[in-house]
Structure 1
């Protein structure tokens, strides 16, 4: 799946905080991927279809350095990643084994992957940062992935940060972490989120001008009328 450039541009203007509010109103409470913190400041807000990767607990006969040459490996998965995708790796929250290092991140950057998102950690931290690949994770650990994890599949449903993510769901990630937008709700989110951002910007302006919160946030009927009038003025 490739996202329409207009959809990407729209979502780049919508914070993950706003998206969680929009999705909450639609009954979805569990859409923020726990542990997906920006590895460094200034990575910006990024949007792309999810390319999923799944790890399970390490099993000694499978989680070996030799497995890195297997047809089912992180190396093979990276070669299947399309340009513009956001790689979302379910590492089960493991923080003592780095799922990727600098070489793998460099290859992802070469393949024009938009970002790497995981509830786990990376290794070779300085080298990963040097690749320029935007990374959202729980930090760094020196041991390799096979010290604690077995890679088993890509482009299957996963549970990253306690959230169900399906291949080609839409991922939006910024300084607050990653949010998943189910494909079936994308059009609704695109239609509603920009108005939510405009409304909150107007409320913020009112607050900065000294307005009290009751009746403003959330709006009462009088405030809603003033807001609607401001859009026409």
Structure 2
């Protein structure tokens, strides 16, 4: 990911990115039923590194599997590159944890940009205090072994009804998480920045008493003139 793309995506909202992707016909990019464990006041941005769980089978998923150094959950945490966002497919099932405080701490120490699951996290009060953005469905205390079996990592997955391919760009804010196909991440970042500038202008106009008719969308030619003048005045 280009540093300038990462920087641009760190300054725009998921809502704005939704609209930019919708203009390109991409309607299903926001991960459903996933929320920040704690609001960080900054965006999470990074390429996706994926982990897939399947339903656990009791004869194959006892507590002893964690002794295997190649266990996909443990190995995946150690393989997640610095700057990446680990995205977990937990089949939208938060009844057992996708990970807990120790593994999320390890991701943070290794320089991961964030972690997302469509399941739940255990130790969520601890995770909330960590300096790493984390998103899940809801808190979940039982170990993942009770319901989830880690199978493989760095492969295409589904997370919250969204297809996620390794290297896709993940952006999370204090509201939601969205997946941007990596092939169009640069142009989406550029457009989202421009959209944000215009929306900031519109917000200021509305607060000053302007009607939204002709302003948003800018169907009144005067809106374009006023916007250009505002950009000059604000340096944006």
TM-score, scaled relative to structure 2: 0.92
TM-score, scaled relative to structure 1: 0.94
1:88 equivalent in alignment to 2:99: no
Gaps spanning 5+ residues in structure 2: where? Answer: none
Q: Distance in 2 between matches of 1:177 and 1:15?
A: 9
Q: Distance in 1 between matches of 2:81 and 2:98?
A: 20
Change over 3 Å in CA distance of 1:159–1:199 after alignment to 2: same
Q: Distance in 1 between matches of 2:232 and 2:142?
A: 59
Matched residue SS, 2:95: coil
Find the counterpart in structure 2 of residue 24 from structure 1: 22
Find the counterpart in structure 1 of residue 66 from structure 2: 68
- Contact 2:37 2:124 (8 Å CA) reproduced: no
Find the counterpart in structure 1 of residue 146 from structure 2: 147
- Summarize deviations over 1:62-89 as a string: whole Å, max 9, x none: 2221222332421111110111111111
> What is the correspondence of 1:59-208 to structure 2 with a 5 Å cutoff?
59-70=57-68, 71-208=70-207
Matched residue SS, 1:205: helix
User: Please, what is the CA RMSD of the aligned residues?
Assistant: 1.5
Find the counterpart in structure 1 of residue 225 from structure 2: 225
Q: Which moved more, 1:140-149 or 1:123-132?
A: 123-132
Q: Distance in 2 between matches of 1:186 and 1:85?
A: 15
Matched residue SS, 2:87: strand
- Summarize deviations over 1:13-42 as a string: whole Å, max 9, x none: 111110000000010000001122110123
- Contact 2:40 2:133 (8 Å CA) reproduced: no
Pairing partner for 1:5 from 3, 6, 17: 3
Q: How many residues align?
A: 231
